Structure 1
Amino acid sequence: MAPAKTSSVRVRVDGQVLALSNLDKVLYPTTGFTKGEVIDYYTRIAPALLPRVADRPLTRKRWPDGVHKQPFFEKNAPRGTPEWVRTVTIPSPGSTRGTEDVEYVVVDKLPTLVWLANLAALELHVPQWKVGPRGGIRKPDLLVIDLDPGPPADLVQCCEVALLLRDLFEADDLRAWPKTSGSKGMQLYVPLVETPGEATSGYAKRLAEQLAGEHPKLVVATMTRAARPGKVFLDWSQNNPAKTTVAAYSLRGNETPTVSTPLTWDEVDGCRRAADLTFSPDEVLDRVESLGDLFADLGSAPQRLP
C-alpha cells in the first residue's frame, strides 16, 4: 500500500462525506505505517471484515498518537459521532463512565469503518452476541476459546493445542474455525444457534479443564498467572457475555502492523514457527484475494452444543 500523499482530504464513501485528517501521520513508527495506510487497509478488507462485526456492539482500542504511545479503550460513541453512524444503548452497570448505559457504535457499513479508522481505532473488539434491529440483546451465536501462550510457549504450541481442541469439537459433531489473534495467540470459533451464555461458558470450561487434565505440561485452564509459563492458557471465560474478543481481520496495536487472521486447518497443522502465521495487512489482503474469506461461511453454519 502506497503512503498517503495528503495530510487531509474530504472523501465520499458510499454516499457519506468524511473528512479524513493527518493521513501521513505515522501510527507504527517501526515500519512507518501511516494512518492513511490504516484507512486503506480497512477500506479494502471491509467485505470480509464487516460480516464479523455487523450487529455486534463494538469496543475500540485507539492509538491516536501511534502504537509507541499510550492507547485507550473506548466503548461509548465519541463526541461528534455522525448522525448516520448506527449506535445502540445497552444497560451496562459499572461502565467506564460510571453510568448505567453505554452507547455503543455498531459497524454495519463501510463509512462507519472508515470513520473509525480515521480516529486511529486500530483494534476492533466484539462480543459473541448480536443486537437486534431495535437494539435488543440476543443470546450468543458464537462460542470462542482463546489460546494464550505463556512464554516461552508461543503460537506453535497454540496450534498444537488447537488441534487437540478440534478433535474434542469433532467428537461432539461440532466444527471450529481457527484464526490468529494477530498478537501472540489464537482463537477457535464455533458458530451456534443462539445459546445462553452460561451454556457456552460451561461447555468451553469443560473442554479446557479436560485438556488441562490430559495434557498438564502443555495446557492450563486456570487464570492463575503463576501456572501459565511454558503452557497455553485456554481462556474459556471469553464466552462471558460481558467480554469481547478481537474481530477477525482487525489490526493489532503491536510494534509492527499485524492482523488477526483466519487460518486453514492445514496451516495450523503445519505451523513450525510463530512467524509462519504472523501476517501483515498486505499479506492478509493477498490471502483474501487468493484464498477467499476463510470465515465466509461462519455465520451460515449454526450448530447446537451437545
Structure 2
Amino acid sequence: MTPITEVEGRRLALSNLDKVLHPLTGTTKGEVLHYYATVGAAILPHLRDRPVSFLRYPDGPDGQLFFTKNPPPGTPSWVRTTPVPRSEDPRARQVVIEELASLMWAANLVVEFHTPQWRASSPAVADRLVFDLDPGPPATVVDCCRVALHLRERLAADGLEAFAKTSGSKGLHLLVPLAPTPSGQVSAYAKQLAVEAETELPRLVVHRMARALRPGKVFVDHSQNAAAKTTATPYTLRARALPAVSAPVTWEEVADAAGPAADPEELVFLMDDITPRLERYGDLLAPLFAPERAGGLP
C-alpha cells in the first residue's frame, strides 16, 4: 500500500520508500525524501521562479536515466508550471518548484534538479553567471580548485563576486550574481574569460569541449550560460552510487583543496553532511539573492 502523507495541506502518495537508490551506502528512497524535507528551506530559494528540468533515476544510478523538461505525466494541478517556448514546441511549459509540497512531489519521482541562469519572470535574462569546471582524468577536483581561484581573481578584477559549490560529481561550479543581463551577453563574457584562462594556464585549462583536448586538464565549461542550458541546482542529490550533493563550499575550503598535498575526497559531500554544514555556515550561496552583491558585466 502506498503511504499517503500531508505536506503543507497537500496530500502526497509516496511510493517505494524502501527501494535502495544509492547502492554504495544502501541509501533508500525514504531517506532521500527525508533529506529533501530537511534541507527544503535551503534548496527552495534556488528553485523558486526557475523552470526546472529533471534528470530522473527512479531505479538508482545503474538503472535508466532520462532527462525531461516537460511536466511529467500525472503532475498535480496545484504544481505551478510556466511557459518556456522552445523552437520545437512554442507552447512548451515546465514545472516551477515553489514550496515544500511541490519539492516533495518532485523528489518522490527521484530526480536531480537542474535550473537555468534566469527566472521564469524574465526568460533569457540572466541574474547569475556560471562556470562548470570539469576535470579530465587524471586531473581531479584539486585541479578544478586551482582554476577556480584563478577565475575568482579574474572576475574580481571586473567587479564581480564568485561563489563556489561542488558539482556533486567530479568537479566544481562557480556562480556569480549579476544585475539582470541578456543571456547572450553573459555567454559571450563567460567564453571570453574561459579563453583567457586557457591562454594564461595552458597546461591546466581547456575551454573547448572536445574530449581529445581534455585529459589532464580542467574544461572550463562556459556554455551553461546559454538561455537553453541548465546547471545542477545547489543542494540537489546526484544520480551516483554515493548520495553525493552539489554542495556550497567556502573559499577557504577551495584554497585548502588546491594545495599540493590535497585529497580530492575532501570536497565530496554526501547527503548526511549537509545539515551539519547548514548549521555551521547557513546557506553559503545566500549572497546570490542579495541585490547589492549583483554586479554588471564590464
Question: What range is the shorter-chain TM-score in?
Answer: over 0.9
Aligned equivalent of 2:10: 16
Aligned ranges for residues 1-306 of structure 1 at < 5 Å? Answer: 8-94=2-88, 99-121=89-111, 123-132=112-121, 137=123, 139-271=125-257, 272-300=262-290, 301-306=293-298
What is the rounded CA distance, in whole Å, between the counterparts of 1:192 and 1:251 in structure 2?
A: 26
Deviation at 1:101, TM superposition (A): 3.1
TM-superposition CA deviations, 1:164-213 (whole Å, max 9, x none): 00110111111100010000011111111110112111111111111100
Structure 2 residue identity aligned to 1:305: L
SS in 1 for 2:286: coil
Which blocks of at least 5 consecutive residues in structure 2 are unaligned? none
**Aligned AA (1:274):** P
Q: Distance in 1 between matches of 2:203 and 2:270?
A: 32
Q: Which amino acid aligns with 2:204?
A: L
TM value normalised by structure 2: 0.95
Tell whether the 8 Å contact from 1:155 to 1:273 is kept in structure 2 after alignment. no
Deviation at 1:281, TM superposition (A): 0.6
Q: When the two structures are aligned, how many residues end up with a matched partner? A: 292
Mapped to 2, the partners of 1:129 and 1:43 lie a distance apart of: 25
CA deviations on 1:282-302 (whole Å, 9 max, x unpaired) are 101110111111011211121
1:201-242 Cα deviation digits (max 9, x unpaired):
111111111110011100011122111100001011111101
Letter of the 2:13 counterpart: A
Query: Percent same amino acid among aligned pairs?
Result: 50
Alignment match, 1:3: none
When the two chains are superposed, the root-mean-square deviation of aligned CA atoms in Å is: 1.1
Deviation of residue 138 (structure 1)?
5.2
- TM-superposed deviation, 1:10: 1.1
Q: Which residue identity does 1:101 align to in structure 2?
A: R
Q: Provide the rounded CA distance (Å) in 1 between the counterparts of 2:7 and 2:196.
A: 49
* Equivalent position amino acid for 1:196 in 2: P
Whether contact under 8 Å (1:48, 1:293) holds in the other structure is yes
Which sections of structure 1, spanning at least 5 residues, go unmatched?
1-6
Normalising to structure 1: TM-score of the pair? 0.93
The code of the aligned residue for 1:304 comes to G
Provide the secondary structure at the position in 2 that maps to 1:30: coil
Q: Contact between 2:248 and 2:285, CA under 8 Å: does it hold in 1?
A: yes
Q: Is the 8 A contact 2:124 2:183 kept in 1?
A: no
